[in-house]
Amino acid sequence: MPTECSAERFEFAPLGQRVVVAGFDGGAITSDAGALLLKATDRSIRLTRRFAECFIDRRRPELIEHTVQTLVCQRVFGIALGYEDINDHEDLRHDPVMALLAGKLRATRRDCAPVAGKSTLNRLELSTSLPTRYHKIAHDPAEIESLFVTLFLESYKTAPAEIVLDLDATDDPLHGHQEGRFFHGYYDCYCYLPLYIFCGRKLLAAKLRPANIDGAARSLEEVVRIVSQIRACWPQTRIILRADSGFTRDALMTWCEANEVDFIFGLAKNVRLVRAIGAELMEAKEESHTSGQPARRFKELTWKTRKSWSRMRRVVAKAEWTQGEANPRFIVTSLTTAYGEGRHLYEKLYCARGEMENRIKECQLDLFADRTSAWSMQANQLRLWFASMAYVLVSSLRRIGLQKTDMAAATCGTIRRKLFKIGALVTISVRRIKLAMASGCPYKETFAAAHQALVAAADTS
């Protein structure tokens, strides 16, 4: 039987003697009922309210329907739920759960939906750092950057003895003629070169940069700002910077040494360095040929470049022979031998840096941080911050609500698919709003555990 469809009804192949018919006539039904967990998380950490306070609204109150608080909630929750395009909100503005998330069930005007559509949200995304005649909404970049660190600090009950801050740059491919668009030879595309700073799974900075700069450009300014804010709250906490060889710059290392911040950075190999571990490479080669397995040796050096470094520094060399060829690697660090021998520093501390790449993938693939299609860099930076705030929100749910579940280490995309995308019938009465969620949801127990943990966190806060 051929499938038929109309504007009101969709007919599919029958099941036995029963005709299968579908239609968008269910009424107040949502596919995002699990977003209530996001709302509870936001209530616990007060993210969207404080994010909205970073904006300046010069619109006339009597002429507007949607406040900046409503717009910010829409954008952050929308990205977390997988709606990266503001065009999606043209339909989402009628969704009862989106209105519930924004804290505004009904509009004050009859011709308005409870939450904003694409045109109003577009004005928010195109806001500048100062209000103008044509941009009544503005944002304060310094306040937004500070909020990321504040949320990070508040995620700890007590000051930790030590934290490791990971720095990395990545590509953000561009497919238009955006401001600051340049070709990057390493990534072989036109792109931006955003800088990310994480501490474990917690995001502290997301800085959009053009691609025609050194990978470490502006990292010192970001580190100084973040370390100053952390030290103001945690003066006794030991801070270690970790990054690949792209950040091994004398200015950054010198600042760390002068400000009691430790570092462990990759160091690009050169002829002099490889020559210094020639004997160790030969030993590894002989062992590898004998055993048929990769072999490695470690050697510590006190090293200084001929021109670029201002002083001697501790270098750990890995002399490895694998797959029939040499694979030498080097790191430079301010950590003393009291912190550990060279092998421990390389294998246990430095190599853990690779986990940060998974966090960047979460931001860019799951939370659409690479959707920088506006013309100006300022608008694209704001888009990056919206996506980053969505990451912080979902990551906070993972930390607070899912810590004791089998989704404690799940990615943001997995959490969205399993916990947020739950169908429900929404019933609104005078006394309550009820979401009758799908009885067959396979993640009911995880949802219940997350809710219980969030309620407990709210009671203790």
For 380-406, the pLDDT digits (tens) are 999 999 999 999 999 999 999 999 999
**Does any domain span residue 207?**
yes
The reported pLDDT for the residue numbered 2 is 47
Could you tell me what percent of the chain has a pLDDT over 90? Answer: 79
206 shares its domain with 245? yes
Contact 366, 412 (CB under 8 A): yes
Total of domains in the chain = 2
**Is 269 inside any structural domain?**
yes
Last residue of a domain, which of 366, 399, 433? 366
Residues spanned by the domain of 265 = 142-366
Q: For 159, left (φ over 0), alpha (ψ -120 to 50), or beta?
A: beta
Is the domain of 198 the same as that of 212?
yes
Residue with tokens 């430095």: 350
Residues 71 and 172 in one domain: no
Query: Cβ–Cβ contacts within 10 Å for residue 84, how many?
Result: 19
Same domain, 304 and 404: no
Same-domain check for residues 221 and 348: yes
> Distance between CA atoms of 135 and 406, rounded to whole angstroms?
46
State the Cα–Cα distance between residues 171 and 192, nearest whole angstrom: 6
Residue 132: inside a domain, yes or no? Answer: yes
90 in Cβ contact with 118 (< 8 Å): yes
CB–CB of 441/33 below 8 Å?
no
Do 394 and 353 share a structural domain? no
Closest by Cα among 13, 100, 65, 44 to 392? 44
Q: Are residues 300 and 411 in the same domain?
A: no
425-435, pLDDT tens digit by residue? 888 888 888 98
In-domain check, residue 117: yes
Q: Is there a single domain that holds both residue 204 and residue 334?
A: yes
Task: Report which DSSP code applies to 365.
Answer: I
Q: Which residues contact 235 (CB under 8 A, 6 or more apart)?
A: none
Are 104 and 150 contained in the same domain?
Answer: no
> What span, in angstroms and rounded, lies between the C-alpha atoms of 210 and 113?
38
Q: Mean pLDDT over residues 168-177, rounded?
A: 95
Q: Of the candidates 351, 366, 381, which is a domain's last residue?
A: 366
In a domain? residue 306: yes
> Per DSSP, what are the bridge partners of residue 98?
none
Residues in the chain, total: 461
Q: Considering the domain boundaries, does residue 98 fall inside one?
A: yes
Does 357 share its domain with 381? Answer: no
d(C-alpha 79, C-alpha 380), whole Å: 15
Nearest to 181 by CA among 377, 45, 382, 334: 377
Residues 313, 225 share a domain:
yes
The 10s digit of each residue's pLDDT in 106-163 is 877 777 888 999 999 999 999 888 878 778 899 999 999 999 999 999 999 999 999 9
Mean predicted confidence (pLDDT) in 236-261: 97
Please say which residue of 366, 388, 411 terminates a domain: 366
91 within a domain of the structure (yes/no): yes
Lowest mean pLDDT among 250-254, 316-320, 456-460: 456-460
In-domain check, residue 9: no
Q: Find, among 244, 240, 218, 242, the residue nearest to 145 by Cα.
A: 218
User: Structure tokens of 209?
Assistant: 């940069």
Locus of tokens 């709302």: 39
| Least confident range of 60-74, 192-206, 236-250 | 60-74
pTM of the entire predicted model: 0.93
- Whether residue 225 is found in the same domain as residue 169: yes
CA distances from 275 to 43, 271, 360 (A): 58, 6, 35
Helical (H) or strand (E) element with 142: helix 141-154
CATH label of the domain that carries residue 243: 3.90.350.10
pLDDT band at 1, cuts 50/70/90? Answer: very low
Query: What's the pLDDT at 282?
Result: 96
Largest Cα span, the chain: 85
For residues 353-379, give the mean pLDDT: 94
